[in-house]
Structure 1
């Protein structure tokens, strides 16, 4: 099993940080509408700060994160709600460089997870990405053709470079 650097640490450090955060909290009473009209679908990778990478702040955008930054049924559900009820009129789909989902095969991910868990993971689907640009184009098409995404919503795809911080557009 892989040893986690914070295993056994508990949550005291996080609760203390939350108390400090709450002292300067200024979103009280905010209605949840995306102030900048933006939704971002991106990977769960901790190297990605989805708001700051496009100059936004808390309250400006709706963020949906998952392994690989893919637009599956859960992301589509979030985007439909966001475009009709939460003020979103621009959608960015943003996978990133050096993503584990795009640099490992399905078999490799199953093997790695199984080894870490000490359990058979051959039954689990991780949705490895063989061609990241092709997958991004498929996801953009999925958003653009979905019958319940609000009309007139702009959608764009970018690959975020985790080593430079730059976005590269993919159409």
Structure 2
């Protein structure tokens, strides 16, 4: 089974793939998100190294248990035939109510069927005041008319 679009990516297809990933992550559904990756996917997320779809699912369960009211925006940075580079920001608060904005970059490589085989993510968290939040849409995918990172000056 393929996960369209598949490589080689045109610019529009790469942009579509980025938005599909953003929408999936904003569901905060580990089962759904994990299905975008190959069964033997290789990940680096901050200082954590993962192998396999099951490890990704378990990671996402842990992530969204501690990152409350999570909202994410991704933006394409560059692409080639089967690779996409993305920059992103997400906002969340911890159990004590402290808000954070996480800034990061990801490098993705896809297999021929359109599944992500490799993901390298570098991420930094910055504490913010609740009044400094920029991502206010209801839980779930970002509305089509909500500004992206560039429009928000991020």
Same fold by TM-score greater than 0.5: no
Q: TM-score range by the shorter chain?
A: under 0.3
Please identify the structure whose Cα radius of gyration is greater.
1
Higher strand share: 2
The TM-score normalised by the length of structure 1 is: 0.23
| Structure with higher RCO (Cα < 8 A, 6+ apart) | 2
The TM-score normalised by the length of structure 2 is: 0.24
Higher helix share: 1
